[in-house]
């Protein structure tokens, strides 16, 4: 049906005939972007415009629940946001949002975005990169998450969902889209309790396999075991952090938000000295072999090779930090000391490692059971 021009008023809309089938569209002669869509049993007032060759449509409400004057005012408000409408008419993709919005945001506010970049390149960009932001639905995102259940842990999938949520939120803030499709997406239930540490027999095997590789990546992994530092902190160590006289590393900024003084044992000092002798970079203690001007990337493949050579299964990078914490608690029974060495912001985080110190609990249990006799 062709569009009919009409001077909108409460009376004129009430007198409009209702078609038996389909919809008849009317255009307000005083506000051409305001339309009345007359159906068999209802009248819908809507805003319509064409900007940059893109048609924009937005429902305002059902007449008479929304009056003519209110609809005109809303239409003029929408027209006043012509810049926003022009932006939203463009077909922005997820890849554009990552390059133009997410990456600058990460450079400003994220200390070490390597993990996020890895997830983007492996999972987000291949699947979502060329999709238009405004076309993505919550159902599609949940199906994407469901398809990953067979290969990834719930915690990892939730990190991917959090990445998508951040990208969409930045797009909303930039007015590329009206609302985020992540708003109604539910995250998966996680079970993050993990008890794995290197055993007394596995530790020498792991160290031997690591030393045999003799690469900056292998040395970085070994330093993570010797210090309990997060692997991301080790990969971003700079020579300016190294204080040879005190034999310690001073990290000015860490995940906890505080500077961290990391004391080094002799094997850890030897690793730093070995890197100094190699002199691969004047900035990074552990640079990339392919580009010494850049910090070491996450040594996932090197870690997998070490575990394979040592014959160690079911080990993750963070288990090295857990192993260090366990040994500190076993040696000192001092959770405050362990917290300082791990650079935890509070003892609550350190208590996650306390269950590994089984010597004291075993002694208590033995005393209790003996008292039963």
Helix/strand/coil for 22: coil
Residue 48, classified by CB atoms within 10 Å of its CB into exposed (0-12), middle (13-18) or buried (19+), is: middle
CA terminus-to-terminus distance, the chain: 95
SS3 per residue for 145-162 = HHHCCCCCCHHHHHHHHH
DSSP β-ladder status, 24-28 and 34-38: antiparallel
What is the model's pLDDT at position 89? 54
Distance CA 1, CA 19 (A): 11
Cα angle, residue 263 at apex, residues 259 and 268 outer, rounded to 5°: 120
Contacts within 8 Å (CB) and 24+ apart, 209-216? 209/306, 209/307, 209/309, 209/310, 210/306, 212/309, 213/302, 213/305, 213/306, 215/289, 215/302, 216/275, 216/278, 216/280, 216/286, 216/287, 216/288, 216/289, 216/296
What is the model's pLDDT at position 365? 73
Residue 35's H or E segment, with its range, is: strand 34-38
Distance CA 94, CA 256 (A): 31
Distance CA 24, CA 4 (A): 8
Per-residue pLDDT of the chain (373 residues; tens, 9 = 90+): 688 999 999 999 999 999 988 899 999 998 989 999 999 889 999 998 876 667 778 889 999 899 999 999 998 888 777 656 555 556 789 999 999 999 988 877 766 666 788 888 999 999 999 999 888 999 999 999 999 999 998 989 999 999 999 999 999 988 888 889 998 899 988 776 677 889 999 999 999 999 999 999 999 999 999 999 999 899 999 999 999 999 999 988 777 667 888 999 999 999 999 999 998 999 999 999 888 899 998 899 999 999 999 999 999 999 999 999 888 888 888 888 888 888 888 787 777 766 555 556 666 677 777 777 6
Distance CA 119, CA 26 (A): 50
Distance CA 126, CA 120 (A): 8
Enter the pTM of the model: 0.58
For residue 165, give the DSSP letter.
H
pLDDT, tens digit, 9 for 90 and up, residues 167-221 = 999 999 888 888 899 988 999 887 766 778 899 999 999 999 999 999 999 999 9
pLDDT, tens digit, 9 for 90 and up, residues 278-298 = 989 999 999 998 888 999 988
What is the model's pLDDT at position 86? 59
Q: What is the DSSP string of 54-91?
A: EEEEEEEEEETTS-HHHHHHHHHHHHHTHHHHHHHHS-
Distance CA 16, CA 19 (A): 10
Distance CA 198, CA 339 (A): 20
């Amino acid at each position: 049906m062709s569009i009919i021009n009409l001077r909108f008023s409460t009376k004129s809309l009430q007198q409009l005939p209702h078609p038996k089938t389909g919809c008849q569209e009317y255009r307000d002669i005083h506000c051409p972007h305001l339309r009345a869509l007359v159906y068999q049993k209802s009248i819908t007032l809507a805003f319509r415009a064409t900007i940059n060759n893109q048609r924009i449509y937005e429902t305002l409400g059902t007449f008479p629940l929304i009056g003519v004057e209110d609809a005109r005012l809303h239409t003029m408000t929408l027209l006043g946001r012509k810049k926003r409408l022009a932006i939203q008419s463009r077909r922005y993709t997820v890849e554009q949002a990552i390059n133009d919005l997410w990456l600058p945001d990460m450079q400003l506010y994220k200390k070490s975005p390597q993990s996020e970049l890895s997830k983007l390149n492996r999972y987000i960009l291949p699947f979502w990169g060329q999709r238009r932001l405004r076309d993505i639905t919550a159902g599609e995102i949940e199906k994407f998450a469901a398809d990953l259940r067979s290969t990834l842990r719930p915690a990892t999938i939730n990190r991917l969902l959090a990445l998508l949520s951040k990208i969409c939120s930045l797009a909303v803030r930039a007015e590329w889209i009206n609302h985020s499709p992540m708003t109604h997406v539910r995250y998966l239930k996680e079970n993050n309790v993990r008890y794995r540490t290197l055993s007394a027999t596995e530790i020498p095997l792991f160290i031997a396999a690591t030393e045999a590789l003799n690469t900056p990546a292998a040395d970085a992994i070994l330093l993570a075991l010797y210090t309990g530092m997060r692997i991301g902190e080790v990969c971003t160590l700079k020579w300016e952090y190294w204080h040879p006289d005190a034999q310690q590393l001073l990290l000015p900024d860490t995940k906890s938000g505080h500077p961290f003084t990391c004391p080094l044992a002799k094997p850890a000092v030897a690793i730093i000295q070995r890197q100094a002798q190699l002199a691969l970079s004047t900035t990074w203690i552990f640079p990339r072999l392919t580009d010494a001007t850049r910090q070491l990337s996450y040594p996932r493949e090197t870690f997998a090779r070490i575990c394979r050579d040592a014959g160690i299964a079911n080990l993750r990078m963070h288990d090295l930090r857990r192993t260090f914490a366990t040994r500190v608690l076993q040696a000192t029974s001092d959770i405050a000391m362990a917290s300082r060495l791990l650079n935890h912001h509070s003892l609550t985080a350190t208590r996650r490692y306390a269950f590994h110190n089984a010597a004291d609990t075993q002694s208590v249990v033995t005393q209790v059971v003996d008292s039963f006799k």
